[in-house]
Amino acid sequence: MNYNYDTTKLLTINKNSDYLIATLYLSAQKNIMNAPYYGIEYDKSLIDISKVNLCKKATNGCATSCLYHQGILKNSDFAKNKIKIARIKRTFKFLLQRDEFFAQLIKEITSLQKKAIKEGLTLAVQLNGTSDILWEKESFIFKEVTYENLMCYFNTVQFFDYTKYDILKSRKKLPPNYHLTYSRAGLHKGKLVDDWQFLQNLLDKEIDISVVFNKKMKNAMLEHSNFLGYKLIDADLSNCRVADVHHRENNQGLILVHEAAKKTDFNNSGFIIQSQEELNKYFSVQH
């Protein structure tokens, strides 16, 4: 049986005044397990979907608050949720039809390179819109040539992602055109994943960190230009992280201040900072 995981396109396109931004949205965390509810068939002899997790470092808090489940994506009528159906299909294509997946991705990025030049913009590609794959380790074959990763193939294109992996340990050998921002995790099963000392070590190594706040706390944070000696920027002004390097000072990383999306499900995991008390607790030198 032939399984069709084709979608209209792999990449979703956005623009700002400087960048043409292409984002790949796959099925976050373990959500591929819902494939049967969406009527998506697959070869069970080739894959055990219960073992597939595209966000292996996801914590309780980020899983609950993940953009994958917010807004129109909360639609409980599986058959009508075309966005999630497309993301699951792309994920199967990535896992089971790699040659076709990378061929299509290359075709789309090549086309967007031409579009960006024509419009006077810089192309930036985010591969982990709703996943946390180590793309620098994803080799592929294209036209009988093996490439170490997509960044190697498109060495003049800037790639960027958020990650919950410890960049200094797990992702320290990055291609020069791949920019990573550490996404603060908070608590997982009651244990603080990334205390202030951990975050400070990243900042001192010129790695930016992303922190999510509720609206009140975000506004309070941005009343100041820095926090504990590190520069703050409003991360919601742009969804293209590659430009952040131009805001750095003193050879330090930035603290990127995000506001949780509207209708996000909040919890007490510490992933979303909701009060001054939480800020003091999780960003204390004593923890």
pLDDT tens-digit map of 28-76: 888 899 999 999 999 999 999 999 999 988 776 565 555 544 444 455 5
pLDDT per residue rounded down to tens, the chain (287 residues)? 789 999 999 999 999 999 999 999 999 888 899 999 999 999 999 999 999 999 988 776 565 555 544 444 455 556 668 888 999 999 999 999 999 999 999 999 999 999 999 999 999 999 999 999 999 999 999 999 999 999 999 999 999 999 999 999 999 899 999 999 999 999 888 889 999 999 999 999 999 999 999 999 999 999 999 999 999 999 999 989 999 999 999 999 999 999 988 767 666 778 899 999 999 999 985 54
**Rounded CA separation 243/238 (Å):** 9
Residue type, 211: V
**Taking the CA atoms of the chain, what radius of gyration do you get in angstroms?**
19
Residue type, 269: S
Is the separation of the CB atoms in 86 and 11 below 8 Å?
Answer: no
Each residue's pLDDT tens digit, 124-136: 999 999 999 999 9
Is the separation of the CB atoms in 22 and 109 below 8 Å?
Answer: yes
Residue 11, helix vs strand vs coil:
strand
User: Would you call 280 exposed, middle or buried from its count of C-beta atoms within 10 A (0-12, 13-18, 19+)?
Assistant: exposed
Task: Answer whether 0.85 is exceeded by the pTM.
Answer: yes
